[in-house]
């Protein structure tokens, strides 16, 4: 019995999205990987085709679709075996902050562009000396009349080069409580004092433009505060459930794809005796073990998707799912690579890129150690 109840409309959307990926994305991935960035026109094409921010209200140019469309988008993007066109990050992690906490003026100004792909977003939280620890953030934001002055440095910012709009987390230096000091700010590309540093060269995620961002006496109008001053930490906490669930969905889909490649390879390639690798008992056992883990992960993820879509509080469970599925993808990539042998070490093997890309999943969106710490706290440990 299927846990998720997809309608004919959902299936049609998946079919259209898959066709879009086959024609507009997959043929360009190798070039994007080489360039270490996806051209902005690819974002605009995806937006014009109706595949960005599918949940957004028609009032702002969206389609008002349910959460399963976001799930489909994340799964189909994972199947392209690249991470540069980070639609999930933009559509289901960053832009929801504007939709949930933005003023009506902010939503009218920014949401249409986010939906069309004319505005690419980034969220700037991580700092050189503060990763998962928001309380250790050093970036400051000070009121100066009708303006806010932001100073600080951010790093490992996904979409950092392409971003037309960044949601920046910074602290009021006059507030002693680090959690009450935190606010979120909307900073547009081209704002004086907002500059980009290095376009980071990474082990994986090659087509994802990850960068350093710097703010030096960066002045924005006070109207660019997102939500209420001092509520930044609470807003971030409210959105972490969906962020971690989306990461888990992406990791689960990546693991399923890598196992499919491996099974197909073992069925169609032969050993020295002329038998398919899949006829080896050791290989069979390895594949069965990995498929079992895949099935367990899928059942867990689908259940959480239903609960999240119903508005239930599953913060602890999504933290568990985020650590479990990203560890699953990382460990499965390693085991599958062993079964590919020498071919797995070449760039002709899709698993080479998959192996590199899944490694960081256990680090971003809160490290897996942080995820376990959250679960331990709620377990009363």
Distances (CA, A) of 330 to 155, 182, 253, 293: 23, 33, 12, 13
Is the pLDDT confidence value at 177 over 90? Answer: no
Q: Would you call 188 a catalytic residue per the annotation?
A: no
CATH class in words for 234-378: mainly alpha
What are the residue ranges of helices labelled H in the chain?
8-20, 29-35, 40-48, 67-78, 87-89, 95-101, 104-116, 232-268, 281-309, 315-340, 350-358, 368-378
Angle at 112 between CA 110 and CA 117, to 5 degrees: 95
Query: What pLDDT is recorded for position 132?
Result: 61
Residues 131, 110: Cα–Cα separation, whole Å? 28
Band the pLDDT of 151: cuts 50, 70, 90: very high
DSSP letter for each residue of 112-147: HHHHHTSS-EEEE--BTTBSS-GGG---EEEEETTE
**Superfamily of domain 8-119, CATH level 4:** Acyl-CoA dehydrogenase/oxidase, N-terminal domain (1.10.540.10)
The answer to whether 54 and 62 are in contact (CB under 8 A) is yes
- CATH 2.40.110.10 residue spans of the chain: 123-230
Please say whether the structural domain 123-230 has been given the CATH code 2.40.110.10. Answer: yes
What per-residue confidence (pLDDT) applies to 131? 64
Q: pLDDT for 320-365, tens place per residue? A: 999 999 999 999 999 999 999 888 888 889 999 999 999 999 998 8
Residue 379: pLDDT band with limits 50, 70, 90: confident
pLDDT tens per residue across span 274-329: 899 999 999 999 999 999 999 999 999 999 999 999 999 999 999 999 999 999 99
Cα 363 vs. chain centroid, distance in angstroms?
12
Q: Per the structure block, which two tokens stand in for 312?
A: 């239930």
Check residue 357 and give its pLDDT: 94
What's the rounded mean pLDDT across residues 72-96? 95
> CA–CA separation, 97 vs 81, rounded Å?
27
**Quick one: what percent of the chain has pLDDT higher than 70?**
99
User: What's the rounded Cα separation, in Å, for the pair 134 and 239?
Assistant: 14
pTM score: 0.93
Task: Judge contact between 168 and 191, C-beta under 8 A.
Answer: no
Neighbouring C-beta atoms of residue 211, cutoff 10 Å: 23
Average pLDDT of the chain to the nearest whole number: 94
Portions of the chain given CATH number 1.10.540.10: 8-119
Tokens of 275: 């038998």
Which candidate in 76, 212, 243, 256 is catalytic? 243
CA-CA distance, 133 to 169, in Å (whole number)?
Answer: 12
Does the pLDDT of residue 118 top 70, yes or no?
yes
Least confident of 59-63, 187-191, 269-273: 269-273
């Amino acid at each position: 019995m299927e846990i998720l109840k997809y309608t004919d409309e959902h299936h049609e959307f998946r079919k259209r999205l898959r066709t879009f990926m086959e024609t507009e994305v997959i043929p360009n991935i190798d070039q994007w990987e080489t360039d270490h960035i996806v051209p902005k026109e690819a974002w605009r094409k995806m937006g014009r085709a109706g595949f960005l921010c599918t949940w957004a209200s028609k009032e702002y140019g969206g389609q008002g679709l349910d959460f399963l469309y976001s799930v489909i988008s994340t799964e189909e993007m994972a199947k392209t075996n690249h991470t540069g066109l980070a639609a999930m990050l933009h559509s289901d992690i960053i832009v929801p902050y504007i939709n949930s906490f933005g003023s009506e003026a902010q939503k009218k100004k920014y949401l249409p562009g986010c939906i069309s792909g004319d505005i690419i977003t980034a969220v700037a939280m991580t700092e050189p000396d503060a990763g998962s620890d928001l309380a250790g953030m050093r970036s400051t934001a000070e009121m100066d009349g009708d303006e806010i002055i932001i100073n600080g440095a951010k790093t490992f910012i996904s979409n950092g080069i392409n971003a037309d709009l960044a949601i920046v987390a910074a602290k009021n230096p006059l507030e002693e409580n680090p959690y009450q000091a935190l606010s979120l700010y909307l900073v547009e590309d081209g704002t004086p004092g907002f500059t980009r540093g290095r376009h980071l060269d990474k082990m994986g995620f090659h087509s994802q433009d990850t960068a350093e961002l710097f703010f030096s006496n960066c002045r924005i109008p006070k109207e660019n505060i997102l939500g209420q001053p001092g509520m930044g930490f609470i807003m971030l906490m409210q959105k972490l459930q969906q962020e971690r669930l989306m990461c888990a969905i992406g990791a689960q889909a990546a693991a399923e794809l890598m196992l499919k490649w491996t099974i197909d390879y073992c069925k169609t390639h032969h050993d020295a005796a002329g038998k398919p690798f899949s006829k080896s008992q050791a290989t069979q056992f390895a594949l069965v073990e990995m498929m079992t883990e895949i099935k367990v992960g899928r059942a867990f993820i689908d259940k959480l998707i239903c609960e999240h879509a119903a508005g239930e509080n599953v913060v602890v469970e999504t933290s568990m799912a985020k650590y479990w599925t990203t560890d699953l993808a990382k460990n499965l990539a390693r085991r599958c690579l062993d079964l590919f042998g020498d071919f797995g070490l070449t760039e002709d093997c899709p698993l080479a890129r998959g192996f590199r890309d899944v490694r960081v999943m256990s680090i971003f969106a809160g490290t897996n150690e942080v995820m376990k710490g959250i679960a331990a706290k709620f377990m009363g440990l």
